[in-house]
Amino acid sequence: MKLQSLLGLIMSLTIVSQLSNSVLAQTEAKIATVPLTKQLYAQSRSQKQVPALFRSILPQIKRQTRVPILLPNLPSVTPDRQRIYINGSGKSNGYRIALGSLPNCNGVTSCSLGYIIAERGSSPYSDEATQQVTLARNITGYYTPRSYKASPAIEWVYKSVVYSIALQEYLYTNGDNPNSNIVKAEMIKIANSAIVAGSR
């Protein structure tokens, strides 16, 4: 009787040990996958944060340039729901993205909506109308009410790279021709969206 009890106790302990080992192995497996899961989540989150307007061209520019890619939060359509087309390319010291109302516009006056340029080693544009402004992360910006093809532009320097954004007011004002303070505030907001998002 005692022998049977002893054998029963040994078997119970063996089963408990096996179950414990199984649970431990499963727990260790889950822990091992956490870093990969976090990494995949971060990658997925980063991709979702890239504005849809630039997703098609971003991989190409990343292959072509060595400068940080800062992209503003811009819609894929104009306020009246017309599609915005982009073309762009990169080089070792920068990149250029042209926005247009037609495919393959590439800065042609009749269809151009603006541009986004980054160039290492250049200097911000300046004329008598250029105003210094404070951007996100306490970066000094340079706002020019009328520059490229009469479009307002804003520039700033980050890691020795000059970033320039020039956009027709039509892209963010519904063509209402608001006063200069509204346009300035909108351009600062657009520049800040690129700075806060960080390098792509």
DSSP 16-79: HHHHHHHHHHHHHHHHHHHHHHHHHHHHHHHHHHS-GGGTTTHHHHHHH--S--------SB-T
- Residue-by-residue pLDDT tens, the chain, 200 positions: 554 554 454 555 454 455 445 544 554 455 445 454 444 344 444 445 889 999 999 999 999 999 999 999 998 988 888 899 999 999 999 999 999 999 988 777 788 899 999 999 999 988 888 999 999 999 999 999 876 556 899 999 999 999 999 998 878 776 655 578 888 999 999 999 999 999 98
Q: How far, in Å, are 85, 149, 165, 169 from residue 125 at the CA level?
A: 26, 14, 11, 19
Going by the DSSP 8-state scheme, the letter that residue 179 receives in this structure is: -
Residue 32 is predicted with a pLDDT of 47
Burial class (CB in 10 A: 0-12, 13-18, 19+), 28: exposed
H or E segment to which residue 11 belongs = helix 2-49
Can you give the pTM of this predicted structure? 0.74
Residue 7: φ, ψ to 5°: -65, -40
Residue 121 is predicted with a pLDDT of 92
Cα gap 27→85, rounded to integer Å: 50
The type of residue at 133 is: V
Cα gap 192→134, rounded to integer Å: 10
Cα gap 195→139, rounded to integer Å: 9
How many other C-beta atoms are found inside a 10 Å radius of the C-beta of residue 80?
8
Going by the DSSP 8-state scheme, the letter that residue 84 receives in this structure is: P
> Given phi > 0 = left and psi -120 to 50 = alpha, else beta, which region is 40?
alpha
Going by the DSSP 8-state scheme, the letter that residue 85 receives in this structure is: E
Residue 128 is predicted with a pLDDT of 86
